């Protein structure tokens, strides 16, 4: 039973780390968008009208592609559930502990 608790604790730590990484990715994506807008404005001021940063695929599509390459199907994550990854893992662990307690009783 102790092994199961250790595994559940490790999953909690992993979920927290993933949430932090996703937050950092969000910060980087936002920064990239701001820089792209700044670059577009500066190039326009210089008389360059070509929109060299507006490409297909765009940055976010390629982020999803890169995530897909490592086994994360990011398109499934676009649903507006409002839940956090750590909330989901907490609920799963609550259910797992309840089942284990019921079986032990």
In 3D, which of 75, 96, 92, 95 has the Cα closest to residue 84? 92
Packing angle, helices 59-69 and 2-45, rounded to 10: 150
At 4 the pLDDT is 92
Kindly report each contact of residues 90-98 with a partner whose C-beta sits within 8 Å and lies 24 or more positions away, as own/partner: 90/12, 92/11, 93/8, 93/11, 93/12, 96/4, 96/8, 97/8
Instruction: Give the pLDDT of residue 82.
Output: 59
Q: What's the pLDDT score for residue 50? A: 82
Q: What is the torsional sign of CA 65, 66, 71, 73?
A: negative
The predicted pLDDT at position 19 comes to: 92
Q: What does each of the 105 residues of the chain score in pLDDT, given as a tens digit?
A: 679 999 999 999 999 999 999 999 999 999 999 998 999 899 899 898 888 877 777 788 888 888 888 888 766 555 555 566 678 778 888 888 888 888 788
């Amino acid at each position: 039973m102790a092994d199961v608790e250790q595994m559940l604790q490790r999953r909690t730590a992993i979920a927290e780390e993933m949430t932090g990484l996703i937050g950092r990715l969000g910060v980087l994506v936002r920064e990239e968008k701001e820089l792209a807008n700044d670059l577009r404005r500066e190039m326009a001021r210089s008389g360059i009208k070509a929109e060299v940063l507006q490409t297909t695929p765009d940055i976010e599509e390629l982020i999803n592609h890169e995530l897909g390459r490592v086994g994360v199907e990011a398109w499934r994550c676009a649903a507006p559930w409002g839940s956090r990854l750590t909330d989901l893992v907490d609920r799963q662990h609550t259910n797992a502990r309840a089942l284990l307690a019921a079986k032990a009783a």
